[in-house]
Structure 1
Amino acid sequence: MLYAGFWKRTLAYIIDSLILWFVFLIIGLIWIVIRALGDWVPSPAESSLVSDGSPYIFTMKTIGQTLLNWGAIWLYYALMESSKCKATVGKLALGIVVVDEFNHKLSFGRASARYWSKLISVIILFVGFIMAAFTARKQALHDLIARTYVVDKRELDYILREQAQRGAGM
């Protein structure tokens, strides 16, 4: 099996990050236009919050937006990697997919575990990501935790076709 290496995975991550950034930018611009063109008149409660200038309100909005962004990013990765595509748009662009130990697509739960396990790598100063450059099967820490592999799609398709032909020939 041809496992996807560190640099290919990094480039896929950059592509996915650019896509997500662009989507968030468009949503933000649409939101600004709706607010600017709409007949938005704050209620008395909203007026007091807006004019209050309280750092608490700003902090709560920031935390809420951050959690919303994390949720959207998690759903992007988990839904794409657990779909029949087996990959995010960035991975598909580079011809790599994520599979389990049996070369099957991931369940949504396993794809979610894989995504949230990345937090451990962030906490330990990205060492978990760098592991993909040095492990035999090019697995990062989150792959080891979720028991997943990032592999070349063409080679995987070839192996699965061979297995199907052997199964049909019996």
Structure 2
Amino acid sequence: MLYAGFWKRTLAYIIDSILLGFVFFIIGLIWIVIRALGDWIPSPAETSLLSDGANFILTMKTVGRTLLNWGVIWLYYALMESSKCKATVGKLALGIVVLDEFNHKLSFARASARYWSKLLSFIILFVGFIMAGFTARKQALHDLIARTYVLDKRELNYILREQEQRAAGM
């Protein structure tokens, strides 16, 4: 089987990051316009909060935005990889797909597990991602945890045709 290696997967990640960065940029611009059109004069309650708990409010806004961003990114990866596309936009651009051990598309739960297990690779200084360059089936740590594979789409089509021919011949 032709598994997608480290560099192809890295390029797909870069494409997805650029796409998501563009989406967040547009959302940010929309937010700025909405704020510019809104009322900039804080209420007396907000004024007292700003003087007393400005750091707390700023921290909570930052935490809220970070969690929202993670949620959007998680949904992007999990929904795309569990869809009939079997891949994110970056992976589609490079002709690779994510499959389970039976060469089927991922369930949303498995795609979510695959996404969230990437946190382990971040925690161990990206070693989990680098593993894709050295394992026999080009699996990163999150692929091993979720029991998934990243294959070349042409290879998958060939495998599926072979399976259909075998089934028709029986």
TM-score (norm 1): 0.94
In the alignment, is residue 46 of structure 1 matched against residue 46 of structure 2? yes
CA-to-aligned-CA distance 1:61-87 (integer Å, 9 cap, x gap)? 101100000011000000000000000
Q: Which residue of 1 is the match for residue 80 of structure 2?
A: 80
Using the TM superposition, give the Cα deviation of residue 46 of structure 1 relative to its aligned residue in structure 2, in angstroms: 3.4
CA-to-aligned-CA distance 1:114-160 (integer Å, 9 cap, x gap)? 00000000000000000000000000000000000000001101211
The amino acid that maps onto 2:78 is A
Q: Which runs of 4+ in 1 moved over 6 A?
A: none
Q: Residues 50 and 31 from structure 1, CA distance in 2 versus in 1: closer, same or farther, beyond 3 angstroms? A: farther
- Alpha-carbon distance in 2 for matches of 1:50, 1:163: 65
5+ long unaligned stretches in structure 1: none
- Alpha-carbon distance in 1 for matches of 2:75, 2:91: 16
Aligned 1:1-170 pairs, distance under 5 A: 1-39=1-39, 42-50=42-50, 52=52, 54-170=54-170
- Between 22-31 and 160-169, the greater mean CA deviation after superposition: 160-169
- Alpha-carbon distance in 1 for matches of 2:100, 2:21: 28
- Alpha-carbon distance in 2 for matches of 1:59, 1:85: 38
- Alpha-carbon distance in 2 for matches of 1:50, 1:36: 19
Q: Residues 38 and 160 from structure 1, CA distance in 2 versus in 1: closer, same or farther, beyond 3 angstroms? A: same
% same residue: 86
Indicate the SS of the match to 1:102. coil
Using the TM superposition, give the Cα deviation of residue 34 of structure 1 relative to its aligned residue in structure 2, in angstroms: 1.1
How many residues align structurally? 170
CA-to-aligned-CA distance 1:4-45 (integer Å, 9 cap, x gap)? 000000000000000000000000000100111235664443
5+ long unaligned stretches in structure 2: none
- Alpha-carbon distance in 2 for matches of 1:53, 1:25: 29
- Between 30-39 and 18-27, the greater mean CA deviation after superposition: 30-39
- Alpha-carbon distance in 2 for matches of 1:82, 1:151: 15
- When the two chains are superposed, the root-mean-square deviation of aligned CA atoms in Å is 1.5
- Alpha-carbon distance in 1 for matches of 2:48, 2:158: 64
Indicate the SS of the match to 1:151. strand
